[in-house]
Copies of this chain bind each other. A is one copy, B any other.
Amino acid sequence: MNRILFRLIPLLVIILCAFASWTATASAGDSLPSWHDGAAKSSIFDFVRRVTAPGGKDFVPEAERIAVFDNDGTLWAEQPFYFQLFFALDRVKTLAPKHPEWKEKEPFKSVLAGDLKSVLAGGEHALVELVMATHAGTTTEEFEQVVKDWIATAKHPRFNRPYTECVYQPMLELLEYLRMNGFKTYIVSGGGIEFMRPWVERVYGIPPEQVVGSTIKVKYELRGGRPVLARLPEINFIDDKAGKPVGIHYHIGRRPIAAFGNSDGDFQMLEWTTTGSGPRFGLIVHHDDAKREWAYDRKSSIGKLDRGLDEAAKRGWVVVSMQRDWKFIFPFEGN
């Protein structure tokens, strides 16, 4: 009987391999359960299959499987305003008792009066002033705690849920699916690097060292003999538009092979990623679901998507319709 068993071993191995391969394919098919079957979903599977097939002409070694994701509007929502702006507004209210002069000084006066329209009418200058007043003046460790406290308690005005629940379920699945296939996933966002790092590991599975974002200057100094990094009211780097490939270069030092964005602020990142040699993948999330989320593109002041829509087809970028390609948008849907 033993001899028969030994002769059967090759057959058993073949059956086992076939089974393993079948379950692997099946589980790949289930890796994006919140995506409707269709061109977008297929294009993702097809790309991942090509770059991970050993010996295939499009095979990419694991170390070079870098995927970059915009955050606002790509991984979490960005309406009615960037969430970081809500953070800044809340922080003005928290800090106001220490700044009696804000009662008479714009843009703080309008913030404290709850008049967001006047704040935004102040344009970029007003926003920079808000960011500096609310994001600087602490040490990096103090600021981390401020962000953690806010993100744990603040709620989105429309959904009445923590901002960290206003993330896109299909993109969470995509991040995980790419990592399961040996990709290193990065955030490359115009948002503040220190506004994201305290929570993105828990929410997206992306560690702080894989976050690229805008920064203000920090300075190393001793306070009472204890070293701190003091946050200064001075812009260091804006990680947006043509700044995104620059940020990618400084932080990662490799050209990504896949990029995911939603606005023209991601255009250069998509261009830089997809014009490299070998297999490349570019994807734009199109906000066209006014019912479940928001519908906006060419004329929006937040997350404007105009050139990207014009050029996506000729550049081979996949445009995802939130309305038609996504079964669910937020993790809390259907709960």
Contacts and interface: CB of A to CB of B under 8 A. Distances in A.
A243 B221 CA distance: 11
Contact of A229 (B209, B219, B246): B246
Can you tell how many copies of this chain the complex includes?
2
A218 B272 CA distance: 14
A249 interface: yes
Interface string A130-154: 0000000000100000000000000
Interface string A211-237: 100010011110000110100000010
A227 B193 contact: no
B254 A242 contact: no
A211 B197 CA distance: 19
B227 A245 contact: yes
B249 A140 contact: yes
A124 to B, nearest CB: 21
Interface string A190-202: 0001100100010
A254 B208 contact: yes
Contacts of A219: 242, 246
A229 B253 contact: no
A208 B253 contact: yes
A320 to B, nearest CB: 23
